[in-house]
């Protein structure tokens, strides 16, 4: 599931740094100190990414940019 989330963010939110994506998905440094520091790493960029993601989901909900692949 995390792979799918990472792939969709890369495809649908161009310009978001892979480091920011990984930090948001809680992929980080091992050990108690690394994990503690990761919680605040890229906080502003992560917030911006999540705003973009929410806007993307709102567009899907409204029916924008949806391609129907079902056979006619």
Model confidence pLDDT, tens digit, residues 7-64: 989 999 999 999 899 888 876 566 665 555 566 788 999 999 999 999 988 988 888 7
Residue 67, domain member (yes or no): no
6 pLDDT more than 70: yes
Residue 57, domain member (yes or no): yes
For residue 42, give both structure tokens: 């890229």
Is residue 22 exposed (0-12), middle (13-18) or buried (19+ Cβ within 10 Å)?
Answer: middle
Domains held by the chain: number: 1
Residue 21, domain member (yes or no): yes
Residue 17, domain member (yes or no): yes
Boundaries of domain holding 43: 2-62
Residue 55, domain member (yes or no): yes
Q: Tell me what pLDDT residue 70 has.
A: 76
């Amino acid at each position: 599931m995390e792979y799918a989330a990472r792939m969709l963010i890369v495809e649908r939110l161009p310009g978001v740094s892979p480091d920011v994506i990984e930090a948001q998905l809680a992929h980080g440094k091992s050990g108690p100190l690394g994990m503690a520091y990761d919680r605040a790493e890229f906080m502003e960029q992560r917030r911006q990414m999540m705003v973009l993601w929410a806007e993307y989901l709102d567009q899907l909900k409204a029916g924008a940019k949806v391609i129907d692949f079902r056979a006619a």
